[in-house]
């Protein structure tokens, strides 16, 4: 299944680095986009929604490019605590209506 694709990584960066993740989606009619964070052996948690105009939450910036059907997540000034897997999530139409499709995730490891 390739509706939502992410680079699995791992991305290994030092503290303070800036790192960017991309995610592509296949359904041009998708309307809702999210980034979830999943720590090792824990449940996913919403990091931020992605809006058409782009949005920022502290060190995190999400961008949406509808023409190219990709979403990005930029993390500035990386912290050790940012180490996790980041899941790109997109809504997609299926026979039952719409559903959220989770990407396989991009793993980030921040080292001191």
Kindly state whether residue 108 participates in binding other proteins, applying the rule CB under 8 A: no
Kindly state whether residue 44 participates in binding other proteins, applying the rule CB under 8 A: yes
**DSSP assignment letter at 3:** S
Question: Residues 87, 106, 108, 110: which binds other proteins (CB under 8 A)?
Answer: 87
- CA angle (14, 20, 21) in 5-degree steps: 120
* Strand, coil or helix: 54: coil
Residue 24's Cβ-side half-sphere holds a number of Cα atoms within 13 Å equal to: 7
Question: Residues 16, 45, 57, 80: which binds other proteins (CB under 8 A)?
Answer: 45
Residues within the interface to other proteins (CB under 8 A): 1, 31-32, 34, 41-46, 49, 87, 91, 96-100, 102-105
């Amino acid at each position: 299944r390739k509706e939502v694709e992410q680079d699995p990584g791992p991305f290994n960066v030092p503290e303070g680095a800036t790192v960017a993740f991309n995610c592509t989606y296949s359904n041009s009619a998708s309307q809702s986009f999210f980034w979830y964070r999943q720590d090792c052996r824990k449940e996913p948690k919403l990091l931020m929604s992605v809006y058409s105009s782009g949005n920022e939450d502290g060190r995190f910036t999400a961008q949406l490019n509808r023409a190219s059907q990709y979403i990005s997540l930029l993390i500035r000034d990386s912290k050790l605590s940012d180490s996790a897997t980041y899941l790109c999530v997109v809504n997609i139409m299926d026979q039952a209506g719409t559903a959220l499709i989770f990407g396989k995730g991009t793993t980030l490891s921040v080292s001191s």
